[in-house]
Amino acid sequence: MQDPNFRLEDSPQNNVTALSIISGNILRDMYFSDNPSLNICRQRKAELDLWLSSLNSSFQQHIRSGNIPESPKDEAEVLVSF
């Protein structure tokens, strides 16, 4: 199990990778766990909160508000491939 205090270096690729891992764990728990529990839900929520806190403040504000600014596709590709 990964140390809950472990943080990847702040880069878009690492942030997307970390979110993908958390999402995969959530899906695994939902579909393949015999006894999903409230403790597991709380643990996954804590992981998501930790992930969100690792993002810079402007990303956090956009995510919390639900208003993600539209940006050109080329700009998004540069951010991900950077």
Position 74: which residue type? Answer: D
What's the pLDDT at 82? Answer: 47
Residues 6 and 61: their CA atoms lie apart, in Å, by 23
pLDDT tens digits, one per residue of 49-78: 999 988 888 778 877 887 766 765 555 555
Q: Is residue 5 part of a domain?
A: no
* Domain around 46: 12-81
Position 34: which residue type? Answer: D
Q: Is residue 6 part of a domain?
A: no
What's the pLDDT at 13? Answer: 83
Could you tell me the pTM of the whole model? 0.63
Q: Is residue 58 part of a domain?
A: yes
Q: Is residue 4 part of a domain?
A: no
pLDDT tens digits, one per residue of 2-34: 555 555 456 778 888 999 999 999 999 888 888
What's the pLDDT at 23? Answer: 93
Position 67: which residue type? Answer: N
Q: How many domains does the chain have?
A: 1
Beta-strand (E) ranges in the chain?
Answer: none
